Amino acid sequence: MQKLNELYRGKAKTVFTTENPEYLILQFRDDTSAFDGERIEQLARKGMVNNKFNYFIMEKLAAAGIPTQMEKLLSDNECLVKKLAMIPVECVVRNLAAGSLVRRLGVEEGLELNPPTFELFLKNDALHDPMVNESHAIAFGWATAEQLAEMKRLTLAVNNVLKPLFAAGGMLLVDYKLEFGVFNGEIVLGDEFSPDGCRLWDIATRTKLDKDRFRQGLGGVVEAYEEVGKRLGMQFD
How big is the chain by its Cα radius of gyration, in Å? Answer: 17
Interaction with ligand ASP in 81-100: which residues (CB under 6 A)? none
- Kindly state whether residue 90 participates in binding ligand TMP, applying the rule CB under 6 A: yes
Number of H helices, E strands in the chain: 6, 13
Q: Are the beta carbons of 173 and 195 closer than 8 angstroms? A: no
Peptide bond into 164 cis (omega under 30): no
Q: Applying CB under 6 A, which of residues 52, 199, 208, 213 lies at the interface with ligand TMP?
A: 199
Position 37 contacts ligand ASP (CB under 6 A)? yes
Q: Residue number with the shortest CB distance to ligand TMP?
A: 99
Q: Which of 82, 199, 211, 213 binds ligand ASP (CB under 6 A)?
A: 211
Q: Tell me whether residue 208 is exposed, middle or buried, using C-beta atoms within 10 angstroms of its C-beta: 0 to 12, 13 to 18, 19 or more.
A: buried
Of 8, 9, 20, 35, the one binding ligand ASP by CB under 6 A: 35
Distance CA(94)–CA(175), nearest Å, equals 4
Contact 87, 181 (CB under 8 A): yes
Q: Is 130 in the site for ligand ASP (CB under 6 A)?
A: no
50 lines the binding site for ligand ASP (CB under 6 A) = no
Site residue total, ligand TMP (CB under 6 A): 14
Terminal-to-terminal C-alpha distance of the chain = 23
Q: Of the two residues 34 and 157, which places its CB atom closer to ligand ASP in the complex?
A: 34
Residue 43, interface with ligand ASP (CB under 6 A)? no
User: What is the closest distance, in whole angstroms, from the C-beta atom of residue 10 to ligand TMP in the complex?
Assistant: 11
Q: Of ligand TMP, ligand ASP, none, which one sits near residue 53, judging by CB under 5 to 8 A according to partner kind?
A: none
SS3 13: strand
Query: Is there binding between residue 11 and ligand ASP (CB under 6 A)?
Result: yes
Identity of the residue, 37 or 233, whose beta carbon is nearer to ligand TMP in the bound complex: 37
Query: What percent helix, strand, coil does the chain show, rounded to 5?
Result: 30, 35, 35
Which of the listed partners (ligand ASP, ligand TMP, none) does 226 bind, with a CB threshold of 5 to 8 Å by partner kind?
none
Q: How far apart, in whole angstroms, are the C-alpha atoms of residue 29 and residue 45?
A: 9
Choose from ligand ASP, ligand TMP, none: what does 35 bind? Cβ within 5-8 Å by kind. ligand ASP
Backbone region of residue 134 per phi and psi (left: phi > 0; alpha: psi in -120 to 50; beta: other values): alpha
6 binds, options ligand ASP, ligand TMP, none, Cβ within 5 to 8 A by partner type: none
Q: How far is it, in rounded angstroms, from Cα 232 to Cα 226?
A: 10
Q: Which is nearer to ligand ASP, 18 or 28 (CB)?
A: 28
Residue 152 binding ligand ASP, by CB under 6 A: no
